[in-house]
Amino acid sequence: MAGEKVAYDEKAIQTLDALEHIRLRTGMYIGRIGDGSNPADGIYVMLKEVIDNGVDEFIMGQGKRIVINRDGPDVLVRDFGRGIPLGKVVDCVSKINTGGKYNDDVFQFSVGLNGVGTKAVNALSSKFEVVSYRDGKFKRATFERGKKTSENGGKEAKERPGTLIRFEPDPEIFGEFEWREEYLEHRLRYYAFLNSGLTLEYNGAKFVSKNGLSDLLAYELGDEMAIYEPIHCKLDRIEFSFTHTHAYGENYFSFVNGQYTNDGGTHQSAFREGVLKGVNEFARNGFAGEDVRDGFIGAVAVKVQDPVFESQTKNKLGSTDIRSWVVNAVKEQVVLWLHKNKEDADKLIEKVKNNQRIRKELSAIKKEARERAKKVAIRIPKLIDCKVHLADAKGGRREESTIFLTEGDSAGGAMIQARDVQTQAIYSLKGKPLNTHGLGREAVYKNEELYNIMRALGIEDDLEGLRYNRVVIATDADVDGMHIRNLLLTYFLRFFEELVSSGHVFILDTPIFRVRNKKETIYCYSEAERDAAVDKLKNSEVTRFKGLGEISPKEFKQFICDDDHLRRVTLGSMSDVKQALDFFMGKNTPARKEFIIEHLIADIA
């Protein structure tokens, strides 16, 4: 009870073994737990940790094939590398800070340098099995929730060298979960892009890439979006590919030792600089960076010994010593390619010059928008900022901060009272934003609401100025709320696609119903959940929230301060996004009407 004194003495001090700590503080090791409905959920992180070991073997020239089989919740991963040394099999999957990746001669380029990966998988699995095949022998061990249940070994002449790991995520940790095939296939496809020559087999399907990162761009863009054939270069420690499209902004897929760095870092900024220098040297011009990069889409992967990341999640590289060699390598290869491919080089330069012309035409409109904003208010209207930014104008603590784009003053008022004032900002929308599908960039500056959103986020010049790590769309769970959500997503995808593709945009899940009696309260997100809650709680009261403004600040706090209620917006390929926007937000009214009627009938049936 509040105010009751609790003894703080020797009995209050606890020591957990490492695997118990993983189970107690799961989020520290695999991020969000989730139920498998989001590609960032823990079960996919567990699979990644296991596959990464096989990929590390491939990078070291040992084993060109990884087999993944799934049967219900159970997943098996078999690589054909060197196999874990038999005397250390148990230690490598159960003792923290144990592994071969501390030895640069054995594993030169690896992200998993903390010795935790498979130990976390073991601790968080209801069943876990590891088998190592090596030198005609094997060692097998099984575990339940991190506790060893059996161990045996002997001769095995038939099996090729390598490691087999089978695991089943623990329902005690993950509750009811489900593997999503599209997320698994996307992850495996990207493993293939990043490791040309490696074959990944999943339940009989094969994922393999001949051309590496250029295959990645071809997959993302489809057949029609690229203005010229993607430039592709692969050296010992760096591989990159890029092209231009007619879209706005710039988009990157950057990787360090196979790890996707969605926030970029020094390798990505050096890649950008190298491209700019290469284009300018070839064209004998001084094009501005924004002109070279508008409509740019690129992929870059580097291999770095002992990489330094700016956060535990390893989504931004901080290593500064790689900058000079990345810039120089990219510049030299870009110049060489442009000289060898005159037709595509002409298309690239034409695109840059067109960007330059449009930028100059927009300058007057931008100036007018800025002058108009100054006359309205010193600060951005409808923005209630968080203290980490009020205290630090440069946004140096961006990783801690979140902005909620919410629908109307009533919802905004409740959220303002419920929020964490240190890290959470609120921006209240005036109404439905403009549908920007098919519009030019001038629309952003001419429309007051869109311009203020851009200013609030700090992305008026480029995404480097983004002030908040998470941009959360918080709208009512009704038709109008869904429409506003789609309009905001269209705005971001049209002009700031990298904001979405790099994982900064989220949807706030808030309940539609509250079912409660004197002992318990259950929040429900569908009519089916409501009916189940009513059956469970006898003599219950049912409340339907017509909008976010009807949720009290006290109740709201548990939703906006809990990451489990945030769903990251994830994208398929860029060509899929374009097709979806054309269909749902474009002017194909008859086709869309037919789609709505068809699905409405299906729902009623």
- Locate tokens 């409109």: which residue? 365
Segment among 41-55, 105-119, 269-283, 532-546 with least mean pLDDT: 105-119
pLDDT in tens, 192-231: 999 999 999 999 899 999 999 999 999 999 877 899 999 9
pLDDT, position 406: 92
Handedness of CA 182, 185, 190, 191 (dihedral sign): positive
pLDDT in tens, 409-461: 777 788 888 898 999 999 999 888 999 998 888 999 999 999 999 999 999 87
pLDDT band at 115 (very low <50, low <70, confident <90, very high): very low
Q: Which residues pair with 516 in a beta bridge?
A: 521, 541
pLDDT over 90 at 241, yes or no = yes
Spatial contact of 144 and 126, defined as CB atoms under 8 Å apart: yes
pLDDT, position 373: 81
272: helix, strand or coil: helix
- The proportion of the chain whose per-residue pLDDT surpasses 70, expressed as a percent, equals 89
Q: Where are the alpha helices (DSSP H) in 104-238?
A: 117-123, 171-174, 181-194, 213-221
- How distant, in Å, are the alpha carbons of 284, 339, 346, 349, 527 from that of 342? 15, 6, 6, 10, 61
pLDDT band at 108 (very low <50, low <70, confident <90, very high): low
pLDDT, position 358: 92
pLDDT, position 597: 63
Spatial contact of 540 and 602, defined as CB atoms under 8 Å apart: no
Q: Which domains does the chain have, with CATH numbers?
A: 18-205 (3.30.565.10), 213-358 (3.30.230.10), 379-510+552-571 (3.40.50.670), 513-544 (no CATH)
CA dist 16 and 24 (Å) reads: 9
State mean pLDDT over 139-160.
Answer: 92
CA dist 575 and 566 (Å) reads: 26
Rg (CA), the chain: 26
pLDDT in tens, 278-296: 999 999 999 999 999 999 9
CA dist 492 and 501 (Å) reads: 10
Q: 348 vs 95, which has greater pLDDT? A: 348
Give the single-character DSSP code of 345: H
pLDDT in tens, 39-94: 888 999 899 999 999 998 998 888 999 999 999 999 999 999 999 999 989 988 98
Spatial contact of 530 and 513, defined as CB atoms under 8 Å apart: yes
| 505 Cβ neighbours under 8 A, 6+ residues apart | 471, 472, 473, 489, 492, 499, 568, 569
pLDDT over 60 at 341, yes or no = yes
pLDDT in tens, 581-602: 877 787 766 776 676 666 554 4
pLDDT band at 8 (very low <50, low <70, confident <90, very high): very low
pLDDT band at 376 (very low <50, low <70, confident <90, very high): confident
Q: 317 vs 106, which has greater pLDDT? A: 317
pLDDT in tens, 161-183: 999 999 999 999 988 899 999 99
Q: Where are the alpha helices (DSSP H) in 386-526?
A: 387-390, 408-418, 442-446, 448-457, 479-495, 497-501
